[in-house]
């Protein structure tokens, strides 16, 4: 069974630009979560999508946004990039059936560097 | 106070040692607890998942939850160099499914 996939693996942008990151969940999973892992800050929750809807967002500014497509894949957009947005962006997926909602499986991440 | 506290280490042990990794949490509404392992430049990999207090064992790994003291632990027996990684504790629950993580403990197992 294929795991969570993310693209691109690396992304280099300059301040003020926009970045788009993509995630494909495990087949059969309907929930997608985005996390930011910045140096020294640990993993922080960004966004949660389920069945195409945004269910919750973490303590991040509105320039962090995203969406979930009908096939449950997801996109994270970061507008007006700032230097401190440089981080590893991780996507996770989980199933919302069978009482297994809390078990999240992570992709390899997209490493974003803002210059 | 951060919701999940974890000693960042680093922790260095000889091969074959028993490793103890620990986290504390502050919100007693938390229900589910996980341990993830993250190798350098990789995504976190789910190791253990537990709901109730007590122990859960999987091979060389044992997860322990003490809800009365809000303490979670991961024990690794017969540690191997391949166990060298950062170990992240996490919790979910309290009405939401997103995870709150500790900052991770970096473990090195020396051959």
Q: How far apart are CA A9 and CA A91, in angstroms?
A: 12
* pLDDT surpassing 80 at residue B41: yes
CB contact under 8 A, B99 and A43: yes
Mean local confidence (pLDDT), B48-65: 88
- Is the Cβ of B106 closer than 8 Å to some Cβ of chain A? no
Mean local confidence (pLDDT), B69-84: 94
The pLDDT value recorded for residue A107 is 96
The pLDDT value recorded for residue A4 is 96
* pLDDT surpassing 80 at residue B94: no
* pLDDT surpassing 60 at residue A105: yes
What count of Cα atoms within 13 Å lies in the side-chain half-sphere of residue A60?
25
- Kindly write down the DSSP assignment for every residue of B16-58, as one continuous string: T--EEEEEEES-TTEEEEEEEEE-TTS--EEEEEE-SSEEEEE
CB contact under 8 A, A42 and B103: yes
- Average pLDDT over chain B, rounded to an integer: 89
pLDDT tens per residue across span A60-87: 999 999 999 999 999 999 999 999 999 9
Instruction: Choose, out of B7, B43, B48, the residue to mutate when testing the contact with A (most A CBs < 10 Å).
Output: B43
pLDDT tens per residue across span A26-38: 998 999 999 999 9
Give CA separation, B26 vs A41, A55, B19, B52, B87, in Å: 18, 24, 24, 16, 19
- Average pLDDT over chain A, rounded to an integer: 92
Give CA separation, B101 vs A43, A63, B5, B31, in Å: 6, 23, 8, 14
User: What backbone phi and psi angles, to 5 degrees, belong to A84?
Assistant: -75, 0
CB contact under 8 A, B42 and A109: yes
Q: How far apart are CA A1 and CA A55, in angstroms?
A: 27
Q: How far apart are CA A73 and CA A64, in angstroms?
A: 17
* pLDDT surpassing 60 at residue A99: no
Q: Which residue of A has its CA nearest to B30?
A: A102
Give the nearest partner residue to A102 out of B32, B42, B101, using CB atoms.
B32
Q: How far apart are CA B61 and CA B87, in angstroms?
A: 12
The pLDDT value recorded for residue A1 is 66
Contact between residue A114 and residue A86 where contact means Cβ atoms under 8 Å apart: yes
The pLDDT value recorded for residue A21 is 98
A53 pLDDT tier (thresholds 50, 70, 90): very high
Contact between residue B65 and residue B50 where contact means Cβ atoms under 8 Å apart: yes
CB contact under 8 A, B49 and A31: no
């Amino acid at each position: 069974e294929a795991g969570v996939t993310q693209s691109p693996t690396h992304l280099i942008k300059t301040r003020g630009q926009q970045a788009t990151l993509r995630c494909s969940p495990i087949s059969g999973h309907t929930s997608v979560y985005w996390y930011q892992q910045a140096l020294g800050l640990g993993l922080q929750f960004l966004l949660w999508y389920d069945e195409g809807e945004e269910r919750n967002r973490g303590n991040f500014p509105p320039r962090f946004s995203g969406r979930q497509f009908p096939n449950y894949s997801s996109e994270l957009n970061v507008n007006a990039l700032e230097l401190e947005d440089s981080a590893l962006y991780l996507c996770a997926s989980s199933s919302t059936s069978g009482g297994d909602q809390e078990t999240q499986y992570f992709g390899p991440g997209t490493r974003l560097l803002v210059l | 106070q951060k919701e999940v506290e974890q000693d960042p280490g680093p922790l260095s042990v000889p091969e074959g040692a028993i490793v103890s990794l620990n986290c504390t949490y502050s919100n007693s509404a938390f229900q589910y607890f996980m341990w993830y392992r993250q190798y350098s430049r990789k995504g976190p990999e789910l190791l253990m998942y537990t709901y109730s207090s007590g122990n859960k064992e999987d091979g060389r790994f044992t997860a322990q939850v003490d809800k009365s003291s809000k303490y979670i632990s991961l024990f690794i027996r017969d540690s191997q160099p391949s166990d060298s990684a950062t170990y992240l504790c996490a919790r979910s629950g309290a009405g939401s499914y997103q995870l709150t993580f500790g900052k991770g403990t970096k473990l090195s197992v020396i051959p």
